[in-house]
Amino acid sequence: MPTVEFNIGHKSYELACQEGEERLLRRAAAMLDTEARAILEQAGRMPEPRLLLLAGLMLADRMSATEDRAAAAERELGRLKANPPRIEVPVIPSGIAEAMAEIAARAEALADRAEEALES
């Protein structure tokens, strides 16, 4: 069973973990250490149990806020899936489409005449 060494606040720890979970443990420890260091910067040294408690509570608060944002995003996604926004595609009036087709035909006829003139 592998062991991982890490620091939280002002103390070093060593903890055993399952094979392959070393990276996850280091990441979790780094998150806890970040919170602990922020507490120590504001409050100075404090007993280890209190520091770990406060750092854990700060992480729990962040996680709660993240869960609230995820739930709101899931509700919005559900709303959008149930009622997708309507996209209106502009329709070209038939009169304009006919006029454009006539202009295109005239342009092609002019191009044909120009080619014939150049060939002669």
Q: Looking at the structure, tell me whether residues 36 and 9 fall in a common domain.
A: yes
- What pLDDT was estimated at residue 47? 93
pLDDT digit string, tens, across residues 41-94: 999 889 999 999 999 999 999 999 999 999 999 999 999 999 988 888 788 787
User: What predicted TM-score, i.e. pTM, was given to this entire model?
Assistant: 0.61
Q: Looking at the structure, tell me whether residues 8 and 21 fall in a common domain.
A: yes
Distance CA 47, CA 40 (A): 11
Rounded mean pLDDT of the chain?
92
Q: Looking at the structure, tell me whether residues 27 and 82 fall in a common domain.
A: yes
Q: Looking at the structure, tell me whether residues 30 and 53 fall in a common domain.
A: yes
Q: Report which DSSP code applies to 7.
A: E
N residues, the chain? 120
Q: Looking at the structure, tell me whether residues 35 and 78 fall in a common domain.
A: yes
For residue 48, what are the domain limits? 3-87
- What pLDDT was estimated at residue 50? 94
Q: Looking at the structure, tell me whether residues 97 and 72 fall in a common domain.
A: no
- What pLDDT was estimated at residue 115? 87
Cβ neighbors of 38 (< 8 A, separation 6 or more) are: 58
